[in-house]
Structure 1
Amino acid sequence: MSRRGACSCPPRVSTPRTRRCSSPWSPNGRWTTISCTRRRGHRGMRPLARTSPNRAGRPCSATGCRSILGNARRRPSPIASPSAWRLRARRRVLRIGSGPGSGARVPTGTPLPSRNSPASPRAPRTSPCGSRRRCAPSGPRTTSRALPSTTAPTASLPCFSNGQNDMTAHHPPNPDLARELKAIYAQDDGELPDLSSLDQAPRRRWRRFLVRAVLFLGIISAAAWGGFFLWRGLSTPARILAGTIEGSGSVRAGEETTYTVRYRNEGDVPVAQLELSLNLPSAFQVTKTTPAADEGTTWRLGSLTPGSDGAVTVTGWFRAAVPSAQTLQAAFTYRPANFSSDFQDFKSLPVSVDGSVLKASVTGPEKALPGDTVEYVLEVENAGSVALEGVRLLVALPKDFHFLSSQPAPSREGAVSWDLPPVAAGGNATVTMKGSYTASAEGTQAVEARVMLVADVVELAQTAASARTDMLGGTLDFRLLVNGGEDDLTLDSGGVLRVSIPYGNRGSQTVNDVSFRLAAETGGPAAPIDWEKAVGIADGVRTGNVLIWDKTDLPDLAALAPKSEGVIDVTLPMPASFDPKTMSDRFTLTLTAAIKGVGSVVSPRTVSATPLAVLVNSDLVASAEARYFTPTGEPVGRGPLPPKAGETTAYRVYWTLENRLHPLSDIRMSATLPTDAGWIDQKDAAAGTVAFDETTRTVSWTVPAWPEGTPIIQAWFDVVTAPSDADVGSFLKLVNAAGAEATDTLTKARLSRALPEITSELPTDEDAKGKGVVVE
């Protein structure tokens, strides 16, 4: 037995059993018997949905209904919605019948007793039987589910009492339970719904119909597309039109070549709308086609019956570099008679250009002495069957070869090259070139000729040839050295040319009557040399830009004995600035030696040294100054002058750049401020921008490109100082040393200029001169 008031099933009993217990609602505390069974999917036991009479034969108590309440008031699942919980609670309310086919509905709205609500054990109550535990009826048991309503109960449970059915048990309503049920079933307006019947929500048939229709159409579409591709794959002919390209895969540039494109219908059905398009390289020059093309390189061939064939022939030549690779492609477009769509087929032929019909040759002396005039004959031959235009001849000369003349003259000034007239098939073109080797030439010298085919502005290399000449040891040996070297050089305005001419007799006989001639050749204006300040020219004779030394000035040159040597040194300064209208910014130094004979043989000749080109960088000039007054006397500074200890004085700093020769780019001028000077962001520039970096305390002025037609540009900024007592009697440092940089666009040199620091002395300010010392 269990303790009084605990009329329930054990929670974890796995086998069915009958349990006797007493209930606080049982009359006189009599015993009540309940049957416990295991619910499917539940870990514990539950009471069977009926009760049996007690031992005393009195009407049963509401124990079963108590259990019903316990089930009906279970806490809902945390994942269930309120509406689902309400529907679940409704389905747990049972309707109990008293006989076959009939049953009294438990009045709806009956407040069920709570487990925690106080109830007298002897008070007769009518069980609402709203859960799975219910009392047994007197007749055949008929049960059905009923929904609670808000109507008060009017019937009691049919139970066994001394063998008779007693329906008069009455249970007063429980107000706490009524409030709880109202909290569960109440709608938004606070009223309880009519729960006497359960309505089924209408189903959305149109949504199901739409989903099924979409699925059906998707299946039909997939089947249709699958059948289409399957039919197309099975019905595509393996091969109807066969095409080939016949011709040489290795050709020479300029050589006429013929290519034949053949086609044949190998299918069982006719071919309609046959079209052939030839994709030819841009280097291929077409001279003839058979049959004639309908448009460009496209042929509309029409229909082709089964077994029939045809051909298209194209003749032309390649204007291409040697070596190079080219590709010819034929594209066939046709439509079989049993198809409504077009088919395409592509054929290609790779072609290698391995040679050229142009041949080159160079003829010259096998041996030569420095200073001797030599002649080279350059010849270009066309071994092909087509006349060629746009043939260019380039010649690479040795460094120690001095070009004198040619027939015909070079096509471009400053370049040893000739644009030849059209070279006929089997014909040739000839160029004759004259020159001499300088005294520094030695060993084997090679003259190389290269032949080009010009396509627009592109040079396509064809062939090359060269001639070699062995230099014999010259009797007189001399060189031209400038600033220690024999290479071309670039100097700034104001630079110095230190010229050295070492000479000697390497032969075994005396060289008679030697003279040297040094010239600064400009081709127009005077050379930028300050002859008045030149050093070493007193030993020679100057005529304009030419210096000459002979036996009159240097007696040793009258008869230069074997193994004797000598040096002539000259220093040629350049002006710091000059007018480009009167002086040239580029010139060439040339040195030649003339001799009357060697030993007893009188054989006058002239020998040249390797010339040397000199470029003058642009004449960039940078300057910086600080002012308190402008040149017209207008004040641009602020504060006391001279500066006073403990007070602030502002100065204006001007940066000026001058340039006249060449355009400049990437111009930058910068300086740092001392710790005693401050930046007040007062600035301006005629070109470019002025900026200040707070981290590095650097003032910078940048100009991307020098303004065209402007010889002078300027920028300014203000600085302030607040001297202390320790500065009394001294000048204030306003700006540290500055530097200016720029790139010469002609010589490609990076120019740089350095400037000293600026103080409060203000030497260029006439109105503020002598007022730069700090006073108390």
Structure 2
Amino acid sequence: MNKKIIFIILIVIIIAGFTAFFYYRDQIFSKEIVRFEILGQDSVKMGEEMEYTVKYKNNGNFALENPKLIFELSDNSLTEDSKLRITQDLKDVYPGTEEFVKFKARLLGKEGDFKVVKATLSYTPHGLSARYESETTFTTKIETVPITLTYDLPSRAEKGKEITYNINYFSNIDYPLENLSIKIEPVNGFNFKSATPSSLDNSEWKLSTLSKTQGGRIIIKGVIGADAGNHLSFLAKLGMWRDGNFVVIKEASQDVEVIQPLIFISQQINGSLNYVASPGETLKYRIFLRNIGPSSFNNLFVTSSIDSQAFDLSTLLSDGGQIRTSDGLIAFDARNVAGLQNLAPQQETNVSFSVKLKDSWSISDSEKNNVVIKNKVDVSGISQEFSNKVSSKLEVIQTALKNQDQYQITWQVKNYFNDVKNIKVKALLPQGATLSDVISPESEASHFSFDSQSREIVWSVGDLLAGSGTTLVFQVAAGVGALQVIGQATVSGEDQAANMVVQSVAQAINPN
């Protein structure tokens, strides 16, 4: 009997043990039962909007309470609110439930960069006090950067030669890029001279917001200082400033071989190397060729092509040159210019032509305060481009309208190309003529003066931006038997871009 009792007790203990084992086994929680992943694109174009999907599923028997999701974007990602770390409180996740959260962003970086995002899900299983975390990551490669950054630079250049090269940029990203800059690395052997647009430190250019299909150009001028045989390495970087860091998104590079100079080309206009041309004047070009190579040049062929709508090509003249007015080309050969037949080492010769600038021509907004005339000289395969500033055209038009014994004088001032400051219009009032107190607009009365001793009228116009103008109207009573109502009017001002005084004259007005 005792054996049966003992046997029954053992059976009960075994059954209770198995029951307890399976019960507590079910109570043990593992975070492996939470399926947690990020879905997205394996590769994208830089700046392309992409969507990340964070999916989570509860495969266990416990509800996940107070879940919190933290989503961390890679550095320098672009979002609508500029946040790179996003925290969301989620609803409780019950057994068998699958949910997802979506995030949008644009990745910033260079071609070939890998960008990693990270998601963290924290929660407390029902009935437990411990808090668990699940983590996952996702990597996306920046396959391409749809931005063009190129050099327009010759592959060979002569020592001592001044060259002009371009850095061209263009965006095909369907998103406006802000806080952009282009940086260039210093080049040992290239002496930086100037740039358009200008740069404060000659190494960085800040760009305006760059939208899709927009671009621009930086023009850099400098002199090759390295010896022949050297190679110059030019490097440009286009990037975006983010939190004080310059994030490079595109690079361009080009090597230039320095060769021994052969012919040194220089040019003068009206006897000056850096002549500032004025609208309406005749320009006399003289191109100088010096052989700085070790051997003679025979039967040289020289061309100069004029590249500007500012020229009146019908006025082209040349002694010894052949002119093609259709495209502004002047050609010189050894048959007509004796100095081109043989140019010995260290010998110099020259050719010349003249052409007149138009009185005025249309310019774009980008050309204002930077109007230049250009010509390109080619000598047997060697090229040199020349650029000269053009001063503004400041014009005064003086007209008169007679009303009985009074003349209504109108001064119309027009400024064409560059900003001009401190503009004044002056004219002499003949003896016997008198001014009335009628001045229009009245606001200009304080800028209008008359000196009874010198008989000089002065209108202080002030400053005019390129492409703007202004008008003044006043009345004059001519003297009896007067030969003039008012003398010639002279307008003058300080051209800010050309750094010179510009002026023009309007004819005097006689009585009707």
TM-score (normalizing by structure 2): 0.47
Of Structure 1 and Structure 2, the greater strand share is in 2
Structure with bigger gyration radius: 1
Q: Which has the higher contact order (CA 8 A, sep 6+)?
A: 2
TM-score (normalizing by structure 1): 0.33
